C-alpha cells in the first residue's frame, strides 16, 4: 500500500512538471516592432583595411590607410618609410581626410626583394596600390627622392587616380649636376655616398643626420634618433640601388606632361636638395606655385610642422 501511494505521488509530480513546461513553451516570444532598426552589421564596421598590399608575386608594400574623405597619398623620401609622415596623418585625419602612406619596396616594413629599384618600378608599384584601393582624385605628394618618384608616376601613368601633385623638398626633376644643369650635388659626391654605404652605412646615416635640419637644434634628438632607426630598417641593397637611380634619373623632358595643379614646399636652408632645384623646377611647370620655408632644411615636415600642414591642407582644399 505504501509503494502504491508513493508511485502515485511521483506520477502526479511528473505530470505537473510536464504541464508547466508546456505552458512556458506556449508563451509568445517577444516580437520586434516593425519599424525597429536592425542590429548593425558588425563584420562590415569592424573590418580592417589592408596594411600590406601585394604589388607583384612575393612583393608586398606596407600601407598606412587612415581616415575617411578626400584622399591624400604620401610617398616617403630615401631612406625612410611611410612612418615619417606620422604628424601629417594625425592632422589630416582630424580635418576629415583619408591619408594613404606607401612605403616603397626595400624600405621599412615593405618587402625587400632582390631586383630593380628605380623610378619606373616605384611608379608601377604605386599604380598597383591605387588601382587595388580604387582611389580617385587624390592629392599625391612625395618627399626628397619621393618627389622624383611621384613626378615619374604622373608622367608614366598620365596622372591616373591623381588630381593634384605636391613636392616636399623634392629632388626633382633632376638631382645631380649636368653640363646644362648647375643645381644639386655633383655625381662624384653621390658615388662617395655609395662607397660609404658599402663600407659602413651607419657612418653615412649619422653624417646625413647632421645636415638634414636647418640647424643643429631645428630637429629634436628624439626625432633624429627616430629617422636614424627608420634608415636602418631599409635594405642596404635597395638603399644603394636607389642612390644610383637618384644620381642618374633625369625627368626634365616629362615636365611638360604635368597639367594638374602642383605645389612645391621647400626649405630655404636645405643642405641636401638645394632650394634652387625647386625654384628652377617650378618655373618649368604650369599651374604650380612654390612656398618658401625660411626656417627649414630638408625635413620641413617636422621643422615647421604647423606651416607645412597648413600649406598642404590649403592646397588640397583649393
Known catalytic residues are 144, 270, 298
Paired residues of 168 in beta bridges: 143, 265
Of 202, 208, 172, 173, nearest to 189 (Cα)? Answer: 208
What number of other Cβ atoms are within 10 A of residue 79's Cβ?
A: 28
The pairs formed by 118-122 with CB atoms below 8 angstroms and a separation of 24 or more are: 118/241, 118/242, 118/245, 118/249, 119/148, 119/149, 119/152, 119/245, 119/249, 119/251, 120/152, 120/156, 122/75, 122/149, 122/152, 122/153
- Pair 162, 94: CB distance under 8 Å: no
Tell me how many degrees the CA angle 276-281-284 measures, rounded to the nearest 5: 135
Quote the radius of gyration of the chain (alpha carbons, Å): 30
At 228, list the grid cell: 636614424
Q: Which of the 8 DSSP states describes residue 142?
A: E
Cα(first)–Cα(last) distance of the chain, in Å?
A: 101
Amino acid at each position: 500500500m505504501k509503494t502504491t501511494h508513493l508511485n502515485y505521488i511521483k506520477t502526479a509530480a511528473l505530470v505537473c512538471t510536464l504541464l508547466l513546461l508546456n505552458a512556458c513553451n506556449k508563451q509568445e516570444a517577444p516580437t520586434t516592432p516593425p519599424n525597429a532598426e536592425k542590429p548593425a552589421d558588425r563584420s562590415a564596421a569592424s573590418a580592417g583595411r589592408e596594411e600590406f598590399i601585394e604589388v607583384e608575386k612575393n612583393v608586398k608594400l606596407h600601407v598606412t590607410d587612415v581616415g575617411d574623405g578626400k584622399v591624400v597619398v604620401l610617398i616617403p623620401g630615401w631612406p625612410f618609410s611611410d612612418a615619417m609622415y606620422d604628424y601629417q596623418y594625425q592632422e589630416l585625419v582630424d580635418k576629415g581626410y583619408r591619408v594613404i602612406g606607401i612605403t616603397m619596396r626595400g624600405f621599412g616594413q615593405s618587402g625587400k626583394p632582390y631586383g630593380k629599384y628605380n623610378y619606373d618600378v616605384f611608379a608601377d608599384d604605386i599604380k598597383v596600390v591605387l588601382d587595388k584601393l580604387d582611389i580617385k582624385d587624390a592629392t599625391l605628394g612625395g618627399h626628397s627622392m619621393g618627389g622624383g618618384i611621384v613626378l615619374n608616376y604622373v608622367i608614366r601613368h598620365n596622372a591616373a587616380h591623381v588630381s593634384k601633385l605636391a613636392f616636399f623638398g623634392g629632388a626633382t626633376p633632376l638631382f645631380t649636376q649636368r653640363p646644362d644643369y648647375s643645381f644639386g650635388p655633383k655625381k662624384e659626391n653621390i658615388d662617395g655616398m655609395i662607397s660609404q654605404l658599402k663600407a659602413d652605412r651607419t657612418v653615412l646615416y649619422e653624417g646625413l643626420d647632421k645636415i638634414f635640419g636647418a640647424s643643429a637644434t631645428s630637429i629634436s634628438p628624439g626625432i633624429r634618433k627616430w629617422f636614424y632607426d627608420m634608415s636602418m630598417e631599409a635594405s642596404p641593397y635597395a638603399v644603394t640601388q636607389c642612390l644610383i637611380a637618384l644620381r642618374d634619373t633625369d625627368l626634365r623632358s616629362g615636365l611638360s606632361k604635368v597639367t594638374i595643379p602642383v605645389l612645391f614646399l621647400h626649405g630655404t636652408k636645405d643642405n641636401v636638395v638645394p632650394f634652387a632645384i625647386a625654384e628652377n623646377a617650378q618655373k618649368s611647370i604650369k599651374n604650380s606655385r612654390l612656398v618658401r620655408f625660411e626656417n627649414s632644411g630638408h625635413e620641413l615636415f617636422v621643422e615647421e610642422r604647423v606651416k607645412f600642414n597648413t600649406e598642404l591642407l590649403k592646397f588640397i582644399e583649393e
